Amino acid sequence: MPFGIAWHTVVLFFGLVAFTPTRLGDLHAHPMPIADFGAAVARIAAIQAHEDSIVAPGGGSILLSHGHRTPRVVVLFHGLTDSPLQYFPFAQQLFEQGDNVYVPRLPHHAEKMGNVSALGSLTAEELRDLGDRSVDAADGLGDTVVVSGLSAGGTLAAWVGQYRADVHRVVLVAPALEVTHVPSLLHGAVLRIALRVPNVTRASPRDSTEPDRAPGWATRAVAQTLKLAVAVRKSAAERAAAVKEVVVLLNAHDHTIANGAAIDLARTWERHGAVAQIYELPDSLRLPHDVIDPRHPGSNVAAVYPVLDSLIAGARPSALVAAMK
């Protein structure tokens, strides 16, 4: 009998949690753009100086600067459990082509003494603030601001696209707007539960040669990322995106994020007047979810980087990727 009472209590608890609406709070932008190049560099240098005491080797924010404003500046947002180093080879490629490039570190990532459980402290508000700070600094680094990101970084790039009019183009790479294995009809309920129950982590052994990465996952970090995605999608349904050019690059072989959610967001933006383009890397490449980091098993940056380079430039990519209508 006590077991039955406990069981019914658990069912009631999860039922209440699943159907109690999620309060999104203030996830709007609070822009404070920096117009001066020197001031923008100094702001990033202050961030890097703070990171020096807490971040593992190679895991801090990256600024590749030509020492002056450039015609284009690119901001790149990395994914969960990774670090800015994930984007370093591609950032170098953009830099060599003449861009200033900024790759900020996501909150609680790549910490010296941290592990994947530390990511359970991540909040949607912290991601919002990072998006604002990064674009604010980028305004001082170049004339035209382009923002891109992978996975959780793609969600953050989507937030920028919805809220920051001082950005010319956003390129979302496999954005984490919904995850696979959860039907869309149940996504809201599962998210509400994940936001309210204690954080659950699964950690893989850390590779001593890659101290900037914390393999595994933390349910709270994923949930907070998806909370930001919900705010973006809700706002997009009600009003036009601040950015007028949006590009989505999907991976047909992706088993981590739900491609349909990204397609829906792009179509919503398009209905409100944005120029939206969707491309898909073919299943035949057998690419992992992380298509950016050459350290990731199964990666093929020789195929992916030229595509992403074209999309950031606003050009049509090679015939390798299919445009989705």
Residues 122-163 have pLDDT tens digits of 999 999 999 999 999 999 999 999 999 999 999 999 999 999
- 188 versus 48: the higher-pLDDT residue is 48
State the pTM of this model: 0.89
- Please report how many Cα atoms fall inside a 13 Å half-sphere around the Cα of residue 143, on the Cβ side: 3
Burial annotation 17-55 (CB, 10 A radius, 16+ → b, else e): eeeeeeeeeebebeeeebeebeebbebbeebbeebeeeb
Across the range 182-192, mean pLDDT stands at: 58
Across the range 18-36, mean pLDDT stands at: 79
For position 210, what pLDDT does the model report?
86
For position 188, what pLDDT does the model report?
65
Whether the predicted pLDDT of 194 surpasses 70: no
- 220 versus 292: the higher-pLDDT residue is 292
On whether the CB atoms of residues 148 and 308 are closer than 8 A, the answer is yes
Superfamily of domain 36-323: Alpha/Beta hydrolase fold, catalytic domain (3.40.50.1820)
Q: Please report, as a single letter, which amino acid is at residue 286.
A: R
What are the structure tokens assigned to 66, written together? 């030509």
Condensed to tens digits (0 to 9), the pLDDT of residues 39-58 reads: 999 999 999 999 999 999 99
Give the Cα separation of 307 and 319 in Å (integer).
9
On whether the CB atoms of residues 272 and 236 are closer than 8 A, the answer is yes
Q: Please report, as a single letter, which amino acid is at residue 153.
A: G
Locate the domains of the chain by residue range.
36-323
Burial annotation 65-101 (CB, 10 A radius, 16+ → b, else e): beeebbebbbbbbbbbbbbbbbbbebbebbbeeebbb
Cα 219 to the center of its chain, rounded Å = 16
Give the Cα separation of 115 and 213 in Å (integer).
9
Across the range 314-318, mean pLDDT stands at: 93
Whether the predicted pLDDT of 17 surpasses 70: no
For position 120, what pLDDT does the model report?
86
Across the range 180-196, mean pLDDT stands at: 62
Token pair 């690119």 in the structure block, residue? 74
